[in-house]
Amino acid sequence: MNLTSLSLIELREAIQKKEIKAEEALLAHLKKIEERENEISAFITVLGEQALVQARKIDRKKEKGRLAGIPIAIKDNMVTKGIRTTCASRILGNYLPPYSATVVQKLEAEDAIVIGKTNLDEFAMGSSTENSAFFLTRNPWDLRRVPGGSSGGSAAAVAAEEATAALGSDTGGSVRQPAAFCGVIGLKPTYGRVSRYGLVAFASSLDQIGPLTRTVEDCAFLTQIIAGHDLCDSTSSAQPVPDYQEEMKERLNPIKAAYLGEKILEGIGLEVKDIYYKTLQLLEESGAQLFEKEFPLWKYALPCYYIIAPSEASSNLARYDGVRYGFRDPDYSNLREMYVQTRTEGFGEEVKRRILLGTFALSSGYYDAYYLKAAKTRSLIYQEFQRTFEEVDYILTPTTPEPAFLIGEKKDDPISMYLSDIFTITANLAGLPAISLPAGLSRGGLPLGFQIIGKHFHESDLFRLAFLIENKVKFYRYKIKLPRKEE
């Protein structure tokens, strides 16, 4: 039995039936990490010894949690008590948090094993995981290409079988875009469905934690565990959490969905468009009613996002000043010099770019022209979605405009990099749930993603439709062939 290739549900059942031990499952994954990490570099921190102690404790327990023995990777912008949390930034390079994020506490309460902390774009700012202060992560499908971002380490770890599942964070597509590039499932839940307590803030009104898994059922099960109200997060919802795993298998109501008109799809890759239309055809053959929708405000989502997100980042990142925690430049003669030199050396290029953008948008004389206008546009985008959801239950889009691009291809062209999120950003602006699942391969053998956007707190509907598509597409037939970098 190849333990690392099992889905979360399969591995869980094998451990519950005592066919294997938690220690065996963990050792198999640690071996896979040892074999592949030199090429992929998904992890900033691997918790070998600590995880092994936890696995042995679980094996001795009589009453085990729902995730007993499941190795799960955590994006390194979620705090973990006593375990280094860096946000892939020099400014937090040796930070040891005194508490764990709520989602991590929920996983550990169900006896999941945190196998390590995964790489990301610094402070989750990027779409390729090339902006990490430590190293870049490579796509397991093609080591010359990026895994997406900012949750690229988490997506790569799941795709490469280094972890059974992972958690990422999604501010403008940072779970769904790497999920599409790496051929896995990625969910951005409704804003407030999952607690953000312990997630290092990038843009607080947009950030949401979500799972990355190999199957839709795994995603539904993991979401059920991490979702729910949290007294430590005033933005978390008190709505009851359904049994997503059971509801996912219920019969679908007649499917009514909107798909994107040609204007929005202009300029995207032909292979992406081809897979998109083939998936729509599969749904039509299954009895779905599909309606073309132009979404006139969609074109404003990207500029709207790149005013709101940097503005919030500018505010959130003001706390990294070298005074209380994190990196402090040792060579300074006064307080102002310490602030300037600490932030200059501690932050990377992309983080500085977004702080500057956000500070400018919020500055006196420009606030009304930029930030206020973006906030109003965001409300209009939300209203456009609400009108659409009066007629349909789903909005169907590609996840990305192209397959995974080559490492370095967009590094010096931030605008081109930002366009990677053209299909994902709207769900964050409107606070809607959205899921990406693999729908096929490009001619070059790279995964292509299909996105489903749903109504607020209708994650069960997303899982049902994604489950239907998963069974039609049967993406699991495609296997990663790990190439060498020199190829």
| pLDDT of 1 | 81
Flag whether pLDDT at 239 surpasses 50. Answer: yes
Flag whether pLDDT at 484 surpasses 60. Answer: no
| pLDDT of 487 | 40
Sequence-distant (6+) residues with CB within 8 A of 261 are 292, 293, 294, 295
| pLDDT of 21 | 97
Flag whether pLDDT at 248 surpasses 50. Answer: yes
pLDDT per position as a tens digit, 298-320? 999 999 999 999 999 999 999 99
**What number is the average pLDDT over the span 423-452?**
97
| pLDDT of 415 | 85
| pLDDT of 476 | 72
Flag whether pLDDT at 350 surpasses 60. Answer: yes
Catalytic (active-site) positions:
75, 150, 174
pTM across the whole model: 0.96
**What number is the average pLDDT over the span 340-359?**
96
Measured from the Cβ of residue 125, the count of other Cβ atoms closer than 10 Å reads 30
| pLDDT of 253 | 87
pLDDT per position as a tens digit, 193-208? 999 999 999 999 999 9
| pLDDT of 478 | 78
**What number is the average pLDDT over the span 338-366?**
95
Domain 3-257+390-477 matching CATH 3.40.50.2300: the answer reads no
| pLDDT of 482 | 53
Are 88 and 76 in contact by the 8 Å Cβ rule? The answer is: yes
Distance CA 65, CA 106 (A): 10
Q: What would the 3-class secondary structure string for the chain be?
A: CCHHHCCHHHHHHHHHCCCCCHHHHHHHHHHHHHHHHHHHCCEEEECHHHHHHHHHHHHHCCCCCCCCCCEEEEECCECECCECCCCCCHHHCCCCCCCCCHHHHHHHHCCCEEEEEECCCHHHCCCCCCCCCCCCCCECCECCECCCCCCHHHHHHHHCCCCCEEEEEECCCCCHHHHHHHCCEEEECCCCCECCCCECCCCCCCCEEEEEECCHHHHHHHHHHHECCCCCCCCCCCCCCCCHHHHHCCCCCCCEEEEECHHHHCCCCHHHHHHHHHHHHHHHHCCCEEEEECCCCHHHHHHHHHHHHHHHHHHHHHHCCCCCCCCCCCCCCCHHHHHHHHHHHHCCHHHHHHHHHHHHHHCCCCCHHHHHHHHHHHHHHHHHHHHHCCCCCEEEEECCCCCCCECCCCCCCHHHHHHHHCCCHHHHHHCCCEEEEEEEECCCCCEEEEEEEECCCCHHHHHHHHHHHHHHHCHHHCCCCCCCCCC
Round to the nearest angstrom and report the end-to-end CA distance of the chain: 31
Distance CA 121, CA 114 (A): 21
pLDDT per position as a tens digit, 17-61? 999 999 999 999 999 999 999 999 999 999 999 999 999 999 999
Flag whether pLDDT at 133 surpasses 90. Answer: yes
Domain limits, the chain: 3-257+390-477
Mean pLDDT estimate for the chain: 96
From residue 48, alpha-carbon distances to 31, 110, 116, 170 in Å are 10, 19, 8, 27
If pLDDT is split at 50, 70 and 90, which confidence band does 481 have? low
Flag whether pLDDT at 96 surpasses 80. Answer: yes
Flag whether pLDDT at 365 surpasses 60. Answer: yes
What percentage of the chain has pLDDT greater than the value 90? Answer: 93
**What number is the average pLDDT over the span 246-274?**
94
**What number is the average pLDDT over the span 168-189?**
98
**What number is the average pLDDT over the span 269-297?**
97
**What number is the average pLDDT over the span 448-456?**
98
| pLDDT of 267 | 87
